[in-house]
Amino acid sequence: MKGIYLVTDEKASLGRPVLSVVSEAVRAGVSCVQLREKNKGTNEFLKEAAALKQLLEPLRIPLIINDRIDIALAVEADGVHIGQSDMPYKTARRLMGIDTIIGLSVETWEDVERAEELDVDYLGVSPIFPTPTKTDTQSPWGIDGLRSIRAFSRHPLVAIGGLGESNLRDVVEAGADVIAVVSAICSAPDPFDASRRLVEMFETVYSREEKRS
């Protein structure tokens, strides 16, 4: 698991439909898409998820649903992302089955330690930097926090929170396998261009890191 991971945010998308932002982002090489909907009713959420599934499946780009396992099961999404106030991991795994991706957000060191015993597919290290798009989180991990988690944890790390071109290099060098972004793509004047630059930058930095290790 590596690359740029787009997390959708309809409100941050400057009035553009989520589907069109995702479509531009994947055309530019984004590796994974998480549909996050906190305000929609079940049926609207389901329709959006079904539309993304139709777009992403032929491209073999995983579709991850935030929180809602019912939506993930209904559209046969590739996985779910759960936070510490969502379904507990073991219940999520039982409902989703063993062949799906389950990512878990870690916001405290206790979360990181507990996750070590779980067969999660990745840890969402959240947030790395302060961010306006998610306000219900603990204090930011920062680059040093990410580095500590990298040294401790056996799981792939998806870094999220305030990430973009200006700090991608530092975050990859600190040990992130995946850079998750919201505003850097959703709120970009041109989501295709923004995605393209992030993907290219990631590939350059990550391959250099791989050679080093």
- Sites of contact with a copy of itself (CB under 8 A): 41-44, 46, 67-70, 73-74, 84-88, 91, 95
Rank residues 57 and 173 by Cβ distance to a copy of itself and give the closer one: 57
Rank residues 48 and 67 by Cβ distance to a copy of itself and give the closer one: 67
Rank residues 43 and 213 by Cβ distance to a copy of itself and give the closer one: 43
Minimum distance from CB of 73 to a copy of itself (Å)? 5
Q: Active-site residue 36, yes or no?
A: yes
Q: What is the C-alpha to C-alpha distance for residues 80 and 66, in angstroms, rounded to an integer?
A: 6
**Does 127 sit behind a cis peptide bond, omega within 30 degrees of 0 on the bond before it?**
yes
Question: Looking at 2, 53, 93, 134, which residue is catalytic?
Answer: 134
Exposed / middle / buried, residue 213 (Cβ in 10 Å: 0-12, 13-18, 19+)? exposed
Minimum distance from CB of 7 to a copy of itself (Å)? 17
Q: What is the C-alpha to C-alpha distance for residues 40 and 20, in angstroms, rounded to an integer?
A: 18
Q: What is the C-alpha to C-alpha distance for residues 178 and 175, in angstroms, rounded to an integer?
A: 9
Minimum distance from CB of 51 to a copy of itself (Å)? 15
Q: Active-site residue 213, yes or no?
A: no
Question: Looking at 36, 53, 93, 196, which residue is catalytic?
Answer: 36
The DSSP result for 16-69, as a single string, is: --HHHHHHHHHHTT--EEEE--SSS-HHHHHHHHHHHHHHHGGGT--EEEES-H
Rank residues 93 and 155 by Cβ distance to a copy of itself and give the closer one: 93
Minimum distance from CB of 94 to a copy of itself (Å)? 8
- Cβ neighbors of 208 (< 8 A, separation 6 or more) are none
Q: What is the C-alpha to C-alpha distance for residues 83 and 33, in angstroms, rounded to an integer?
A: 16
Question: Looking at 13, 31, 105, 183, which residue is catalytic?
Answer: 105
Q: Active-site residue 187, yes or no?
A: no
Point out the residues that are catalytic.
Answer: 36, 105, 134
